[in-house]
Structure 1
Amino acid sequence: MFAEKPTLKGELVTLCPVGLEHVEDLLEVISDPEVRRLTGSHGEFDEERLRLWYATRAAQTDRLDLAITADGGFVGEVVLNELDTANLSCNLRIVLGPAAVGRGYGTEAIELVLGHAFRTTPLHRIRLGVFDFNGRARHVYEKVGFIEEGVERDALLWEGKWHDAVLMAILRPEWQARAGSLA
């Protein structure tokens, strides 16, 4: 379903297939303490493992990994993964570096990837999870049409405190209604 790895251009960002040229920038983003907290990433990241991972993304037909670039540089990545072809659904995840936060890059990246997914694939549902303390991300997800569906209680133990994960999704008809009203 994701054999094609497109380049998607918006007003603020360009999404392009991830590649080895993005590894060092990604490592810098995911090593940031605040990014680690917001994504619930406990482990350490190894550059060589990231190189091996990014080297294989182009061949994966069950996921779409796109680098988010703005002003000529890498600012994050947006991914459609966990594809369930029987139920026409997948997961979305996004990570932005600290310098990219609050500039509209994440909103536009999500809108671009949703547009691509719902226009070029038979997907019906795209879901995500966001930790309860990440109000900024949750606001963006709601702004682009994601609806809260439930909560995974105590899904993350961070620095001795439990946090819930809020589960959200957008359905093709919801996206179509929004896309139609924006045209």
Structure 2
Amino acid sequence: MIDATALREKPVLTGDRIRLVPLSARHADAFHASCLHPETRRLTGTHHDFTRAEIEEWCAGCADREDRLDLAIEDPAGGAFLGELALSQIDRDNAHGVFRIALVPHATDRGIGTEAVRLLLAYAFDRVRLHRVQLEVYDYNPRARRAYEKCGFEVEGRLRDALHWDGEWHDVLVMAALRTRWGREDAG
């Protein structure tokens, strides 16, 4: 049903303002700095303090992972790291995958995230041939929710009090985009 070779290919996807490239060891410093930033940690709900060595090991191994796709978001002009995204937890029988994205703080509010999501969804639906791509977003991140909705994601459910952050409980919204609706609602 899906084309699993598309996950092994590690493509370069080019948009108008960004380029998605295979995440590699050369991104480790910028990726680690992003992981330490308080706003990035809040928006991703990251409690774990990743070490530089953990990030470098993760980035270095991305090219060898055949069951997922991890890409860096770069500025095509100079190659600056703008964030990273992943398509993972691929369910081959049901043509389903899970998506996540994290931008560096200075890359927000510029449409970069929306463009990155659209590029990855096009690859997931057209090349990998997934039927469904799911993500989770925290209730305190309406900016991300709007960006996902522009790309065709719809809220499907709510996990109540699923994240404890800064002494408070927060809901997680489950959203998904379907290939059968791709291209009709993503014009946003």
Counterpart for residue 104 of structure 1: 111
Runs (4+) of structure 1 moved beyond 4 Å? none
Instruction: Spell out, residue by residue over 1:33-70, the C-alpha distance to the aligned partner (whole angstroms, 9 max, x if none).
Output: 01101111011011111111111111111100000001
C-alpha root-mean-square deviation of aligned residues, in Å? 1.3
Instruction: Spell out, residue by residue over 1:1-58, the C-alpha distance to the aligned partner (whole angstroms, 9 max, x if none).
Output: 2111000000010000010000000011111101101111011011111111111111
Distance 1:178 1:36 in 2: 30
Instruction: State TM-score, norm by structure 1.
Output: 0.95
Q: Does 1:87 align with 2:87?
A: no
Q: 2:154 aligns with which of 127, 147, 160?
A: 147
Counterpart for residue 73 of structure 2: 68
What amino acid maps onto 1:142 in structure 2? E
What amino acid maps onto 1:170 in structure 2? A
Distance 2:170 2:185 in 1: 31
Report the count of equivalent residues: 181
What amino acid maps onto 1:156 in structure 2? L
Work out whether residues 150 and 185 of structure 2, in 8 Å CA contact, stay in contact via their aligned partners in 1: no
Give 1:107-126 correspondences, 5 Å limit.
107-126=114-133
Work out whether residues 89 and 97 of structure 2, in 8 Å CA contact, stay in contact via their aligned partners in 1: yes
Q: 2:39 aligns with which of 34, 40, 59?
A: 34
Identical aligned residues as a percent: 44
Instruction: State TM-score, norm by structure 2.
Output: 0.93
What amino acid maps onto 2:174 in structure 1? L
Distance 1:66 1:149 in 2: 26
Q: Cα offset for 1:82?
A: 1.1
Counterpart for residue 165 of structure 1: 172
Distance 2:23 2:10 in 1: 9
What amino acid maps onto 1:110 in structure 2? V
Distance 2:97 2:33 in 1: 27
What amino acid maps onto 2:94 in structure 1? N
Distance 1:176 1:97 in 2: 28
Q: 1:130 aligns with which of 134, 137, 145?
A: 137
Q: Does 1:23 align with 2:34?
A: no
Q: Cα offset for 1:163?
A: 0.1
What amino acid maps onto 1:61 in structure 2? E
Counterpart for residue 44 of structure 1: 49
**Structure 2 residues without counterparts, runs of 5 or longer:** none
Q: 2:8 aligns with which of 3, 13, 20?
A: 3
What amino acid maps onto 2:12 in structure 1? T
